[in-house]
Structure 1
């Protein structure tokens, strides 16, 4: 019996570890049919997955398979159409609809879409802060307190749990985590090897390195005696200067060992301590907690009056309902089996909600902890393991799928090496089932260009592959054919990392399409829209005016702007400077803007945009750009966004303010996709999850995005902490910062793994930073070359 068959036919509950390309959707569909064969009805089975796209695909595949196995049974098929096969949020909405009184949902409420939710919550938070007492503002300052509250309101479930732990047993917690970190360190091979060297190699008494070695031995003795902070302090004083080779068996090895001990013992988790800063933080946190609870109450009241819910509200209301005995009993009678897809992406509140739903029935949990990449959205890093423990405790089955059906043998072997390089000992190698393509060219191309021309190297390689007509396996027909543009995807961590690729593909005449759209707010059309609205709201906004003049509305060149600057009087609004200009192009721009200013008060903001575009020929200018269709689709999407933002007052000032808040909050609004029959796909790795292509180019593999540090850090198991200005770092803040950093680094490694495993036939990994740690790791594994170009790149 294969692992897939074992997972499908398992009695009771089952957890399925499904690596990339091992056929997890096939298992879920066949498991669903198996449950029907055992006598369950579709209305007794709940299946949840991560996205609406995945839910629609799952329902369609189940429907097709049920028709194949059960024939045309109208009652069964009709029941299947209304069965709960959906996202978790749709499931939560169902519970709130079924039991509005028990869940507490105000009658007539509707669910916000994400941009609207972000916008309104930002506005209402400002209003709510007016009802906070003065003490939190005096202690933290307005701007800082607002930033902290924004972080807490982003994850209300975790925020309340973390605030409840505020100040509780911090000292014991810090000591326990520190002690565990020391135990882990003393088992690390690098530490053990270094200890062995400094304990067995000796120099003369007057040798500088011998003095450092003895200090290290004293430090190690203090650590063994249960005084790790004293020991770490001694190791921190080690000096590596001096030393005479003739007096040592291997001086360089001793120096390397001393450096290893000093470095490893200086890790923040090993040296953190509870102190004065923690006491000050403990005294201040009740003020933050009071401000958060007050603003949360005000936001809840505003939402109730507006009859509006966001996704976090849906989850919390549904959880509240399921905690009522009568609601729990209702679903225990109705739902006998719960199927969870992509379980590694489940958040703590979602895990608790699903746990209550599945408390009285069996579970089918499918996922891959190697592909957990949504920690930034609140997904719990250890929830998949908790599902596994629950199922094993209940006598269920755990199955690991180890046969990969996506990548051909040659590529899968290299992917196994890459997985081990980025994931370490936790990596699970897969055996490829595909035996085709044995005589095709090499499956992996590593590209490094330290000169900074990474995009050029990647695009040149892709074009060469297209010219060669590299053989690939057609996913639809299963037959070999030559490579086409539509078979290629370029993936990166961030949309901005794809800009250079996009521009070069355009220059070379290679069509491309953004999968998932990217962020609409980062497009030129959004920036031009923002500039126009800001100018119409305030003619003294010179930054907006200059951006508008440079835009395709007027296309005023930098030399013309420089000439304007010569006429500009310091402190004067640029609008007045433009009015005095004798440049005919500037004069024409002023005349058009004056006409729009005269008429915009009677127009909605969207109508004002359309008037300006008609007078300036903006849309026609975009139509002449390369990839015109992409820009015109983005412009339409910007108009639709303004339509949403302009309510309720229909004025440019309010609309500009709302759009500014979205942009400054770095909110992401997906661009609508542009359909193309044969184009290279550009996507973030997150957007590519669950998808596959014959050729994948994974670019900028050298490291993670460097985000601004959050205003505060929180974890439900530890509490809440922040860095107090001008003071030493609290031990709890160090704990939260370091555990958070470790989780982020692990997630970054998994992100690389997800990107690599999207490829079916060929994988290109590229970087322009050969010295980056992630690149060095992949170099050592042979995934990236140690020279300027890869030997196996096409020529």
Structure 2
């Protein structure tokens, strides 16, 4: 087998990566390699299944057909092989199936731990936790940390103090949510670097010292010195106002808050002229005119900014240490309660398998383990290598080393992937490994690992490939949006693409639109012109976020009647009324006191069936459901209830029937765990998703990440707007040493501070390079999903300075770009099929039970108002919608506007909204005296507060989905509900009395519906519900009768 060698393949999108993998595997078999001594690993079960199926299909085809055998023999460079030999190879694979190592990295690592538990420090068997199980374990450990019967007072106090440090004293009401955020964001970093010396350690961050931290002067002291040193009489009135305003603002400024407006320009100028100010030679602009500063005055100004920098850096150091302390206290308890009990996540498995550096005994055990593995495996095939993390590579490194350095040449290493599709850096993937490994093994012996490029697409037609080459292969255009270092790295691996589908017609075009409304309208126009449903074409509209995908899918359905479905990962238990009602029924059975779940059931056709069966009372229903769960499992219970309730569905409601089947299938998967815990099931099903395959006629609206690995006849990209692409991801700044181990961790300061500190600037630039490269990868993935048509829709660049994708499109394609035949689809005919969703296997509905099908709408769907023609294409509509959504999110932070909450409110708002005008509008609304009653706690002893509370209800022949902005429910001393107020915030422009009246009339139907829904949910007559519209633009509340 010495002719096989070691091979790295850089496989561009659609170029046949799976084909190359299976060819390599068959070639190994033909060379005499036993199938069980070959390890082939990828990232997903789907990809592993496709890999295995392709091996069997190709071998079976060659085993029965002379022509197929001849083709496969030529591809593996063994022309002498005939069907008889391929039958023999097929028999070897089938016989070895129980021993094959074709699967996922996670699965392979789990098997290693199962094989060597004692060597890895485990007491015996272990249990792999699913996502829902891991979440429950987290909640259990957090409960233990606060449980008076388990944790000592000192331990609880330590945790609380650490949390205060991590939040810098900011009070948090949503403690659970914030703790979850801490653990999600920082837990993995802690486990990579548990040593406190790595976290917020100024000596590690600045080994040469930091002049800011050495100033030793407070902001108040620096301001006092500066006031005394400045030559006030030498300034004109404007300059005196600028400097006085700056110093006054800094006296009132709190560390951690954004710099006040009077300070922004002076601080920026002082930093710009820093060296000259310290040297006493500065001529710095103040109030639009340059001023020469004497040494004392210049140093005093610099002293104020130095004190600001020191205060901010010290705060970040303290916050970083607090984060470490919080996570450490949690992880120590979690390790004791969960990991040591043998309950592990996939991440835990990878950590167990990491080679030990500091423990000689563990290192020796690991070496012995590797020797035993090395004796079993000869050949390594690694797929999607661009997404491999360094932790995963460390586990395999020694084993691959032995294969590459085999003196007899009887072993091999093969890895394939595409560094241009490395879009999972946020979860640990490091595409730089791809080239580093190649260079490492080739440094001593040139050609130890050979390099091969696959750049011919078997997916896309020629016009699409031409656009991909024009955009992604133009280094000068790429330099318009990413740093030069990113362009160099990208172009090193770039190969011009070609297409194998030379006879396939298609179309690629760049479209321009003025704003988001225009981009969405153009998307709808393109989809309607193609008419994918009629022609049986697969279509995807790719966006950047799930939220934007949901909004766009709703727009396509509402405005154009397009069958658009948001996202490819479907929460099948919660995206339709039928299964939502079934889950509410289960929740009521387990928790009869859950009024919200009970009212949700009461507002659906389920209630009528419960009355019919005599189970409308709490105990009867609970007994029936709980007995069925215990005896038949969740799948059996749901199957029975689907049979009972299915007659309430419309005869043509195939979608709900399909979702019911999928819920039963999901429940069956949960039943395999052996659990009958209803709360555990409800948590599990919340996370359960299905990934739908390409659906002819259905427009799939999904993120680029979800689309990776998929192909569609038509792809539309209407969501390439945004800020500069090379912006570092939010989160901790993590600096790694030459061995890629964590050197230091710091909660990063603002961009202004980082840009003026050499150490932090270097780290920020490195992070920006990573972000810039990943952004190019995301764009490349988006552009290469299309088979027949690709439509890119962006807004004109104009005078905008953002280094974003529209700027790249303009630089690479110009103002007008189109290739191929715009009417390519005219010759396409839809394949014959009964229905997109497929026939239902559930019992048919009898004619006597047929019901009118409910239409779906939102509460605001009943509003109507004349609109002036000039407003139809007004560009302000998009910005107004964004503003309205942002203000609603900000107002949802407010519980009661008391003195303590108001003191912290602006800081909380600033954490989720960067637009100062929107933030100020929301804050002033809360503080405005005319709206004080809206945000003030009622005088009653008890009250409930709903904020951004979603609801679904059957009402007047329609299924209504909506969200209450704010509902205050008042109770008497005994807890009985005595009244409620529904508050709906509006950001309408109502500048006149007439405009206000029109707006109130427009929203009146919505408020009437809200009153009816709340009345039914809380069991109160509608007369006891007060409706109030709050117009934020004018800070006025209007009671709506």
TM-score tier, shorter chain, comes to 0.5 to 0.7
Alignment-derived partner of residue 158 in structure 1: 192
1:780 maps to which of 807, 810, 828: 810
Alignment partner for residue 770 of structure 2, among 712, 721, 743?
743
Displacement of 1:327: 0.7
- 1:632 aligned onto 2:660: yes
Q: What corresponds to 1:446 in structure 2?
A: 511
Residue equivalent to 1:72: 87
Counterpart of 2:385 (choices 325, 329, 343) is 343
CA distance 1:336–1:643, shift in 2 (3 Å): closer
Q: Which whole-Å CA distance do the structure 2 matches of 1:691 and 1:313 have between them?
A: 30
Q: Which residue of 2 aligns with 1:400?
A: 453
Q: Does 1:518 align with 2:518?
A: no
Instruction: Name 2:498's counterpart in structure 1.
Output: 432
Match of 2:300 in 1: none
Alpha-carbon distance, 1:330 to partner: 1.3
Cα distance, 1:310 vs. partner?
1.6
How far apart are 1:524 and its partner, in Å? 4.3
Q: 1:308 to 1:220 in 2, by over 3 A?
A: closer
Cα offset, 1:734, TM superposition: 8.1
Tell me what 1:600 maps to. 622
8 A contact 2:196–2:324 mirrored in 1: no
Q: What SS does structure 1 have at the residue aligned with 2:502?
A: coil
Q: CA deviation at 1:297?
A: 3.8
Task: Return the match for 2:793 from 766, 769, 773.
Answer: 766
Q: CA RMSD, aligned part only?
A: 5.4
| 1:493 paired residue number | 544
1:361 counterpart SS class: helix
Query: Match for residue 369 of structure 1?
Result: 419
Q: How far does residue 545 in structure 1 lie from its aligned partner after superposition?
A: 6.4
Residue 18 of structure 1: CA displacement? 1.9
Maintained 8 Å contact 2:200/2:316 = no
Whether 2:321 is the aligned partner of 1:328: answer no
Aligned partner (choices 262, 276, 295) of residue 330 of structure 2: 295
Structure ranking higher in helix proportion: 1
- In the alignment, is the contact (CA less than 8 A) between 2:192 and 2:742 conserved in 1? no
Q: Could you tell me how far 1:379 is from its partner in structure 2?
A: 1.8
SS at match of 1:14: strand
Cα distance in 1 for partners of 2:639, 2:655 equals 24
CA–CA separation in structure 1 for the residues paired with 2:385 and 2:456 = 20
Q: Choose which of 131, 140, 146 in structure 1 pairs with 2:163.
A: 140
1:65–1:599 Cα change, 3 Å: closer
The offset of 1:28, in angstroms, is: 2.5
- 1:364-389 CA-to-partner distances (Å, cap 9, x unmatched) read 22222211111232223533343233
Counterpart position of 2:713: 694
Deviation at residue 351 of structure 1 after TM alignment:
1.9
1:753 partnered with 2:780: yes
SS in 1 for 2:498: strand
The alignment status of 1:414 with 2:414, answered yes or no, reads no
1:373–1:750: 8 Å Cα contact kept in structure 2?
A: yes
Residue 709 of structure 2 aligns to a residue whose secondary structure is: coil
Residue of structure 1 aligned with 2:689, choices 648, 670, 689: 670
User: Are the equivalent residues in 2 in contact too, given 1:162–1:720 (CA < 8 A)?
Assistant: no
Find the aligned partners of 1:735 and 1:598 in 2 and give their Cα distance. Answer: 67
After superposition, what is the alpha-carbon deviation per residue over 1:563-584, rounded to whole angstroms, capped at 9, x for unaligned? xxxxxxxxxxxxxxxxxxxxxx
Q: Is the 8 A contact 1:281 1:721 kept in 2?
A: yes
1:655–1:33 distance in 2 versus 1, CA, 3 Å? closer
* Alignment TM-score, normalising by the size of structure 1: 0.67
Aligned twin of 2:526: 461
Instruction: Assess if the C-alpha contact under 8 Å between 2:537 and 2:697 holds in 1.
Output: yes
Q: In terms of mean alpha carbon deviation, does 756-765 or 443-452 score higher?
A: 443-452
**How many residue pairs are counted as aligned between the two chains?**
660
The residue aligned with 1:191 is none
In structure 2, what is the equivalent of residue 25 of structure 1? 18
Q: What CA distance in whole angstroms lies between the structure 2 residues aligned with 1:750 and 1:228?
A: 43
- Distance in 2, matches of 1:234 and 1:333, equals 72
| SS of equivalent to 1:325 | helix
For 1:107 and 1:350, the matched residues in 2 are separated by 23
C-alpha deviation, 1:341, in angstroms? 1.2
Residue 628 of structure 1 deviates from its aligned partner by 3.7
The counterpart of 2:132, out of the listed 97, 115, 124, is 115
Change (3 A) 1:747 1:230: farther
Q: Report the CA distance shift for 1:229/1:360 in structure 2 as closer, same or farther (over 3 A).
A: farther
Bigger radius of gyration among the two: 2
Asked if 2 retains the 8 angstrom alpha-carbon contact of 1:622 and 1:628, the reply is: no
User: Is the alpha carbon distance of 1:280 and 1:414 closer, same or farther for their aligned partners in structure 2, counting shifts above 3 Å?
Assistant: closer
Residue ranges of structure 1 left out of the alignment (5+ in a row): 1-7, 179-207, 209-214, 244-270, 470-482, 555-584
1:338-383 CA-to-partner distances (Å, cap 9, x unmatched) read 2221111112211211223312112322222211111232223533
Matched, 1:51 2:44: yes
CA contact (8 A) 2:544 2:703 kept: yes
Which residue number in structure 2 is paired with residue 15 of structure 1? 8
Residue 384 of structure 1 is matched in structure 2 by: 434
Report deviation, 1:444: 2.9
What are the within-5 Å matches in structure 2 for residues 541-556 of structure 1? none
Q: Structure 1 residues 422-431 or 24-33, which shifts more?
A: 422-431
- From 195, 201, 206, give the equivalent of 1:167: 201
On the 8 A contact 1:17/1:366 being kept in 2, the answer is yes
Q: State the 1:490 CA deviation.
A: 3.0
How high is the TM-score relative to the length of structure 2?
A: 0.53
- Flag the 1:617–1:528 CA change in 2: closer, same or farther, 3 A: closer
- The SS at the match of 1:73 is helix
Cα deviation 1:109-156 (Å, max 9, x = unaligned): 232333333333343344356654523421423665554234333566
CA contact (8 A) 1:48 1:55 kept: yes
Asked if the contact 1:174–1:274 (Cα under 8 Å) also holds between the matched residues in 2, the reply is: no
SS at match of 2:15: coil
Corresponding position: 1:352 with 2:361: no
Secondary structure (helix, strand or coil) at the match of 1:701 reads: coil
Deviations 1:537-560 (A, max 9, x none): 778867666766666767xxxxxx
> Judging changes above 3 Å, is the alpha-carbon distance between structure 1 residues 628 and 37 closer, same or farther for their aligned structure 2 residues?
same
SS in 2 for 1:390: helix
Higher relative contact order (CA 8 A, sep 6+): 1
Shift in CA distance, 516/382, structure 1 to aligned 2, threshold 3 Å: same
When residues 457 and 433 of structure 1 are mapped into structure 2, their CA distance, relative to the original with a 3 A threshold, is closer
Q: CA deviation at 1:613?
A: 6.7
Q: Residues 746 and 687 (structure 1 numbering): CA distance in 2 closer, same or farther, change over 3 Å?
A: same
SS of residue matched to 1:102: coil
* CA positional deviation for 1:92: 0.4
